[in-house]
Amino acid sequence: MSSLKDQGGVIVNETRPTRDVYEAVADPTRRKLLQLLADVEESPLNELTRHFEMGRTAVSKHLTILKEAGLVTSRRVGRETRFKLNAAPLKEIQDWVAFYNKFWSVRLSHLKQLLEEEEE
């Protein structure tokens, strides 16, 4: 499924993302996985699973989804599969949310005025 093209180089672990990054990040378990991988920079499934109250299979599925979104890469090392964070796709979310920044700023300036008028 995911082609491992290692041409001289660097990561290239997956075909371009097949899964919406917003969706990938919607689940708390998956956010926690990203967090864990941010700390250790590489970790096998077994180790990751230890931090959750669910089975290995479930965690594996979550990691698959993260991979589909391009948020993690994996490589086999001996009998274990090591996962690694790839935060780049999160840029899409950052750009998206940045647009709305102005709205909650504006809102705060209106707020004082609002409070002096009334409440609903």
Partner DNA sequence: CGAATAGGACACCTTTTAGTGTCGTCTTTG
Partner DNA sequence: CAAAGACGACACTAAAAGGTGTCCTATTCG
Among 14, 33, 34, 70, binds a second copy (CB under 8 A): 34
Cα separation, 93 vs 115, in Å, equals: 33
* 40 lines the binding site for a second copy (CB under 8 A): no
Which is nearest to 11 in space by CA: 63, 65, 60, 67? 67
Count helices and strands (H / E) in the chain.
5, 3
* 6 lines the binding site for DNA (CB under 7 A): no
Decide: 114 and 103 in contact? Cβ < 8 Å. Answer: no
Among 16, 94, 109, 116, binds a second copy (CB under 8 A): 94
Subset of residues 31 to 70 that bind DNA, contact rule: CB under 7 A: 44-47, 49, 53-58, 60-62, 65
Decide: 56 and 44 in contact? Cβ < 8 Å. Answer: no
From its phi and psi, is residue 3 left (phi > 0), alpha (psi between -120 and 50) or beta? beta
Residue 50 contact partner, candidates a second copy, DNA, none, CB within 5 to 8 A by sort of partner: none
**Contact residues for a second copy, defined by CB under 8 A:** 4-13, 20, 22-23, 25-26, 28, 31, 34, 38, 75, 85-88, 90-91, 93-94, 96-101, 103-104, 107, 110-111, 114-115, 117-120
